C-alpha cells in the first residue's frame, strides 16, 4: 500500500500526522516513511534509528567542452534561460536547467555533452519496523520534480507491497505535489478547520480530482475555527478519516521535535481510525 | 516609497495573518501585494472586490496540429518528461507533464508542434476593505509561482503606489528560498521575518536570513507563538542579537488569531487589546 | 572609464532601478567620450526564470568597467559579471543616476565583491 499525505498549504500538520502515523503503524506492520518535501524535509527531526544508506542523486546537465563555433543555437533553444553565450565562452546555469537535452542533442558540433551533476542526497534510516527515507535538494537547486521521481524509484526498488509506504508530500498544488502523489493509491489531505484551511483544502481537492486520485481528509487542530470544513466535505461526499484535537500540548511536543501518539490517547484514537480506514480500502 | 516584505521560510508561522493585520493598520496609505501565490489566503481577510482581472501567462506548452502530424514518433523519442503519447491513435500532449522545453517543436519534421505561452492563472487589482489597494493572483492546478509573477505583482503595486502617492508597499512574500522569494526580496527596503519557536522554525529562519543578508536588506523579526517553547525562543533571540536583527515583537500562542480569521477579520479589528497593542507597536516600528 | 547603471529610464534624472536581473533599463556612461548609451531591458518581464544571467549578458555587451546598482546582482548574474571583471557598487536605490554617479565619485558607495 502506498499513501501520500498532502495539504494545500504549509503548516497544517502534515509532518505531525505522517511521522506519528508511521510510528504508530510500525508497532504492527513493516512501514516506510518517505519525506518528499525535498526543499525542506523535516520529518527527520522526529525520527530515530541509524543511517543505513546514503546516496547522492544526480540530474543530467550539459557541460561545454571549451571550444565551438559559438553559433548560439544552444542559447536559442533553451527555454529556461539556462545557457548564456558570451563572446568566447558558453556558460551553463545548472539550477535553471530542466534536463530536456535539447541544447546538447541539437548542437551541430556536439560541444555540450550531458553529464550527471549532483542535485541532492537520499538518506535511508532504519529503526526496527520503521524505515525512514528522506531526500534533500542541495542549496541553490530549484528542480524538485526529478529528485522526487528518483526517490519514488528508490522506494519501489527497496520496499515491496508488503510495506505500508507513507509519502510526506510537499505543500501546495504545483508540480512537485503532482509528482509526489502520482503513483500512490490514496491521498490523505490534512487541513485545519479555519477559513485559510478550507480555502487551501478546496485547491488541493481540485488537484486530486484532476489527477483522478482517491483521497480523504484529516482535520487537524479540531475544535478551533468553525464547521465549514465539515460541511464542505459532506456536500462534496469526501470522507473525513479523523479529527485530531486542538491541544496546546501537541504544539509543544511538536516544537521540541517529539512524537505524540504514545503520550496522548486522544491522538492515538484518531490514528487508529485512520488505520482502519486505509486498511479497508481497495 | 518604502517596500516592506514579510517572509517566513516555512508555512504555518502566521505570516499571512500578521501581514493582513499590518495592512489593516496601514489603511489606505499602503498598497498590498500578495506574492504568496501558492497559498494566497490574504484575500480572505482583506475582502478584495476583484474589480480588475487579467490573465497571466508564463512558460510554454507544446501543442500538436493533428492534421499536419504524420505520427513519425520523433517527438516521443526526444521528450524527457513522458508528456507525449498516443491517445485514440493520435499524438497527444499531456499538459501536466509538459515542461515547455520546446525540444519536440524544434525537431518536428512536419512543423506540426508549436510552442505557445501557457495560461497559468489570473492576477487582480482590487479595492480592499480598508479603502486601500491590493494586487494579488490566483494560479491554476500544477502552475508554479515564479520570479516573473512576483515581479509582475510588485510592479503593478509600485505603479499604483506612485500614481496615487502612497508611501508604503507591503508585500506578503513567497515561501521557501527559491526564485519567487528572491524576486519578493529584490528591491525591498525592509524585510520582516516571521518565525515560531520550533525546531524547524529556527532552521527556516536562518535559511531565509541568509538570503536577506545577501541582498543587504535591513531586517526585523517577529516571533509568533513565542511562549510555546521558551528555550527555543531564547535561542532565536540570541541569533537575532548575533546577526544584528531587530526584534520587532514576540506574540504569544493565542487562538484569538484563529477566531478573528473565522470572522473574516484581522487580529487588530478583533476585540483583543494586548495583541492589538503589540501589532500597533510593531507597525509603528516598521513603517 | 565606462560606468553602467541599472535605471528606470534613459537619462541622468532617471531613478536607479534597485534590481539587476529585472531592471527596466541599462544605462552606460562613457567618461572619456562623455556619452550615454542605453539598453531597453523591459522585455525581461516576460521571462519566468533566469532573468539575472540574461541581463548580465546584455550588460557585458556594453563593455563596462563598473556597475552601479541598488541591491546587487543575484548569484547567477554575478557569475557572468565576474567573467567580465566588472566592479560592482551597490546601495544606490532611491537615487537618480546623476546622484548615484556623484556619490560614486565621492567614494561613498559600497563595493560588492562578486
The verdict on a CB contact (< 8 Å) between B187 and C47 is: no
**DSSP labels for chain A?**
-EEEEE-SSTTSSHHHHHHHHHHHHTTTS-EEEEE--TTS--GGGG--S-EEEEEEEEEEEE---S------HHHHH-TT--EEE-SS-EEE-GGG-----HHHHH-TT----EEEEEEEEEEEEEETTEEEEEEEEPTT---HHHHHHHHHHHHHHH--TTSEEEEEPPSSSBHHHHHHHTT-SEEEEEE-SSHHHHHHHHHHHHHHHHTT--EEEEEEEETBS-SHHHHHHHHHT--EEEEEEP-HHHHHHHHTT---TTT-HHHHHHHHHHHHHHHT--
Nearest neighbour of C54 by CB, restricted to A81, A89, A95: A81
The verdict on a CB contact (< 8 Å) between A80 and B101 is: yes
What's the whole-number mean pLDDT along residues A16-33?
96
Q: Which fold has domain B59-119?
A: Alpha-Beta Plaits (3.30.70)
What pLDDT, on a 0 to 100 scale, did the predictor assign at position B11? 78
Q: Is the pLDDT of residue B44 over 80?
A: yes
Q: Is the pLDDT of residue B24 over 80?
A: yes
Task: Name which of C58, C76, C78, C83 to mutate to probe chain A: the one with the most chain A Cβ atoms within 10 A of its Cβ.
Answer: C76
Q: Which chains touch A (3 or more CB pairs under 8 A)?
A: B, C
Q: Is the pLDDT of residue C83 over 80?
A: yes
Q: Give the chain A residue whose CA is nearest to the CA of B259.
A: A225
What pLDDT, on a 0 to 100 scale, did the predictor assign at position B273? 80
CA distances A163 to A27, A158, B13, B109, Å, are 13, 10, 34, 47
Q: Is the pLDDT of residue B272 over 80?
A: no
What pLDDT, on a 0 to 100 scale, did the predictor assign at position C74? 81
Nearest neighbour of A91 by CB, restricted to C49, C75, C80: C80
Task: Select the highest-mean-pLDDT range: A163-167, A173-177, B180-184, B273-277.
Answer: A163-167
Q: Chain B residues with CB inside 8 Å of A195's CB? A: 41, 44, 261-262, 264
The verdict on a CB contact (< 8 Å) between A102 and B196 is: no
The verdict on a CB contact (< 8 Å) between A207 and B141 is: yes
Straight-line distance from the first to the last Cα atom of chain C, in angstroms, rounded to the nearest whole number? 19
Straight-line distance from the first to the last Cα atom of chain A, in angstroms, rounded to the nearest whole number? 10
pLDDT band for B12, please (50, 70, 90 cuts). Answer: confident
Q: Which chains touch B (3 or more CB pairs under 8 A)?
A: A, C
What pLDDT, on a 0 to 100 scale, did the predictor assign at position B72? 96
Q: How many CB pairs under 8 A join B and C?
A: 46
Q: Chain C residues with CB inside 8 Å of A89's CB? A: 83
CA B92 to chain centre: 33
pLDDT band for C80, please (50, 70, 90 cuts). Answer: very high
Task: Kindly report which listed range (A210-214, B170-174, B270-274) carries the lowest average pLDDT score.
Answer: B270-274
Strands across the sheet containing A130-137: A51-62, A114-127, A130-137, A31-35, A164-168, A2-6, A186-191, A215-222, A240-245
The verdict on a CB contact (< 8 Å) between C22 and B186 is: yes
Q: Is the pLDDT of residue B86 over 70?
A: yes
Q: Chain C residues with CB inside 8 Å of A85's CB? A: 57
Nearest of C51, C27, C53 to residue C39 by alpha carbon: C27
Q: Minimal Cα–Cα distance from C57 to chain A, Å?
A: 7
What's the whole-number mean pLDDT along residues B139-152?
83
Q: How many CB pairs under 8 A join A and B?
A: 139
Burial label for B67, CB within 10 Å (0-12, 13-18, 19+), is exposed
Question: Where in chain B do CATH 3.30.70.20 domains reside?
Answer: 59-119
Q: Chain C residues with CB inside 8 Å of A100's CB? A: none
Question: Where in chain B do CATH 3.40.50.300 domains reside?
Answer: 2-48+128-286
Q: Is the pLDDT of residue B215 over 90?
A: no
Q: Minimal Cα–Cα distance from B163 to chain A, Å?
A: 32
Q: Is the pLDDT of residue B211 over 90?
A: no
Q: Chain B residues with CB inside 8 Å of A210's CB? A: 96, 141-142
What pLDDT, on a 0 to 100 scale, did the predictor assign at position A282? 61
Q: Give the model confidence (pLDDT) of B155-191 as tens digits.
A: 999 999 999 999 999 999 987 777 788 788 888 999 9
Q: Minimal Cα–Cα distance from A47 to chain B, Å?
A: 13
Give me the CATH code for the C2-112 domain, please. Answer: 3.30.420.130
Q: Give the model confidence (pLDDT) of A217-271 as tens digits.
A: 999 999 999 999 999 999 999 999 999 999 999 999 989 989 999 899 999 999 9
Q: Is the pLDDT of residue A51 over 70?
A: yes
Q: Minimal Cα–Cα distance from C11 to chain B, Å?
A: 20
What pLDDT, on a 0 to 100 scale, did the predictor assign at position B238? 97
Q: Is the pLDDT of residue B257 over 70?
A: yes
Name, in order, each residue with C-beta under 8 angstroms of C35's C-beta and a sequence gap of 6 or more: C29
User: Is A256's Cβ below 8 Å from some Cβ in B?
Assistant: yes
What pLDDT, on a 0 to 100 scale, did the predictor assign at position B112? 97
What's the whole-number mean pLDDT along residues C88-114?
93
Superfamily of domain B2-48+128-286: P-loop containing nucleotide triphosphate hydrolases (3.40.50.300)
The verdict on a CB contact (< 8 Å) between B179 and C49 is: yes
Most distant CA atoms of chain B, gap in Å: 71
Q: Which chains touch C (3 or more CB pairs under 8 A)?
A: A, B
Q: Minimal Cα–Cα distance from C60 to chain A, Å?
A: 9
Domains of chain A: 2-57+121-279 (3.40.50.300), 64-112 (3.30.70.20)
Nearest of B131, B145, B192, B170 to residue B31 by alpha carbon: B170
Task: Select the highest-mean-pLDDT range: A42-51, C52-61, C66-75.
Answer: C52-61
Amino acid at each position: 500500500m502506498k499513501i501520500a499525505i498532502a495539504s494545500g498549504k504549509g503548516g497544517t500538520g502534515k509532518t505531525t500526522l505522517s511521522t506519528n502515523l508511521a510510528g504508530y503503524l510500525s508497532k504492527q506492520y513493516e512501514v516506510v516513511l518517505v519525506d518528499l518535501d525535498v526543499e525542506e524535509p523535516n520529518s527527520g527531526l522526529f525520527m530515530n534509528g541509524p543511517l543505513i544508506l546514503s546516496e547522492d542523486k544526480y540530474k543530467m546537465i550539459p557541460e561545454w567542452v571549451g571550444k565551438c563555433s559559438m553559433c548560439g543555437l544552444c542559447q536559442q533553444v533553451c527555454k529556461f534561460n539556462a545557457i548564456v553565450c558570451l563572446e568566447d565562452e558558453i556558460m551553463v546555469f545548472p539550477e535553471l536547467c530542466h534536463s530536456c537535452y535539447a541544447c546538447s542533442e541539437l548542437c551541430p558540433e556536439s560541444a555540450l555533452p550531458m553529464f550527471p551533476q549532483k542535485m541532492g542526497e537520499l538518506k535511508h534510516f532504519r529503526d526496527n519496523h520503521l524505515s525512514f527515507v528522506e531526500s534533500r535538494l542541495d542549496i541553490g537547486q530549484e528542480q524538485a520534480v526529478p529528485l522526487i521521481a528518483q526517490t519514488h524509484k528508490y522506494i519501489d526498488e527497496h520496499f515491496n507491497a508488503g510495506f505500508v509506504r507513507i509519502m510526506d508530500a510537499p505543500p501546495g498544488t504545483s508540480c512537485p505535489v503532482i509528482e509526489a502523489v502520482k503513483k500512490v493509491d490514496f491521498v490523505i489531505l490534512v487541513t485545519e478547520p479555519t477559513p485559510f484551511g478550507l480555502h487551501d483544502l478546496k485547491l488541493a481537492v481540485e488537484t486530486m480530482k484532476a489527477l483522478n486520485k482517491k483521497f480523504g481528509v484529516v482535520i487537524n487542530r479540531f475544535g478551533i475555527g468553525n464547521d465549514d470544513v465539515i460541511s464542505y466535505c459532506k456536500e462534496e461526499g469526501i470522507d473525513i478519516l479523523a479529527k485530531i484535537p486542538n491541544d496546546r500540548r501537541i504544539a509543544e511536543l511538536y516544537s521540541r521535535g517529539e512524537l505524540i501518539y504514545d503520550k496522548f490517547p486522544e491522538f492515538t484514537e484518531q490514528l487508529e481510525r485512520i488505520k482502519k480506514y486505509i486498511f479497508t480500502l481497495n | 516609497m518604502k517596500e516592506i516584505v514579510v517572509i517566513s521560510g516555512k508555512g504555518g508561522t502566521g505570516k499571512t495573518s500578521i501581514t493582513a493585520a499590518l495592512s489593516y493598520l496601514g489603511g489606505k496609505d499602503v498598497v498590498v501585494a500578495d506574492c504568496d501565490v501558492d497559498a494566497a489566503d490574504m484575500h480572505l481577510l482583506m475582502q478584495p472586490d476583484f474589480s480588475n482581472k487579467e490573465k497571466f501567462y508564463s512558460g510554454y506548452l507544446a501543442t500538436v496540429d493533428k492534421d499536419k502530424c504524420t505520427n513519425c514518433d520523433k517527438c516521443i523519442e526526444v521528450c524527457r518528461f513522458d508528456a507525449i503519447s498516443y491517445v485514440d491513435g493520435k499524438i497527444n500532449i499531456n499538459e501536466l507533464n509538459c515542461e515547455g522545453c520546446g525540444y519536440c517543436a524544434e525537431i518536428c519534421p512536419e512543423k506540426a508542434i508549436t510552442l505557445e505561452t501557457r495560461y497559468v492563472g489570473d492576477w487582480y487589482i482590487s479595492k480592499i476593505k480598508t479603502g486601500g489597494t491590493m494586487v494579488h493572483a490566483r494560479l491554476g492546478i500544477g502552475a508554479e509561482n515564479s520570479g516573473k509573477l512576483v515581479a509582475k505583482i510588485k510592479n503593478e503595486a509600485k505603479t499604483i503606489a506612485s500614481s496615487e502617492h502612497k508611501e508604503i508597499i507591503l508585500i506578503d512574500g513567497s515561501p521557501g528560498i527559491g526564485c519567487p522569494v528572491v524576486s519578493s526580496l529584490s528591491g525591498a527596503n525592509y524585510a520582516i521575518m516571521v518565525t515560531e519557536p520550533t525546531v524547524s522554525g529556527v532552521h527556516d529562519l536562518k535559511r531565509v536570513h541568509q538570503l536577506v543578508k545577501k541582498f543587504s536588506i535591513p531586517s526585523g523579526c517577529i516571533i509568533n507563538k513565542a511562549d510555546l517553547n521558551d528555550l527555543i525562543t531564547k535561542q532565536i533571540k540570541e541569533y537575532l542579537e548575533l546577526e544584528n536583527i531587530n526584534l520587532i515583537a514576540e506574540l504569544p500562542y493565542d487562538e484569538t488569531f484563529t477566531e478573528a480569521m473565522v470572522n473574516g477579520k484581522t487580529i487588530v479589528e478583533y476585540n483583543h487589546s494586548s495583541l492589538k497593542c503589540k501589532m500597533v507597536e510593531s507597525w509603528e516600528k516598521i513603517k | 572609464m565606462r560606468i553602467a547603471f541599472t535605471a528606470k529610464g534613459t537619462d541622468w534624472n532617471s531613478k536607479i532601478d534597485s534590481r539587476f536581473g529585472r531592471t527596466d533599463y541599462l544605462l552606460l556612461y562613457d567618461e572619456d567620450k562623455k556619452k550615454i548609451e542605453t539598453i531597453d531591458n523591459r522585455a525581461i518581464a516576460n521571462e519566468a526564470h533566469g532573468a539575472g544571467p540574461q541581463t548580465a549578458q546584455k550588460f557585458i555587451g556594453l563593455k563596462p568597467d563598473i556597475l552601479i546598482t541598488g541591491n546587487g546582482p543575484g548569484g547567477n548574474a554575478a557569475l557572468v559579471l565576474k567573467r567580465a571583471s566588472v566592479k560592482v557598487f551597490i546601495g544606490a536605490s532611491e537615487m537618480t543616476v546623476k546622484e548615484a554617479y556623484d556619490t560614486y565619485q565621492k567614494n561613498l558607495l559600497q563595493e560588492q565583491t562578486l
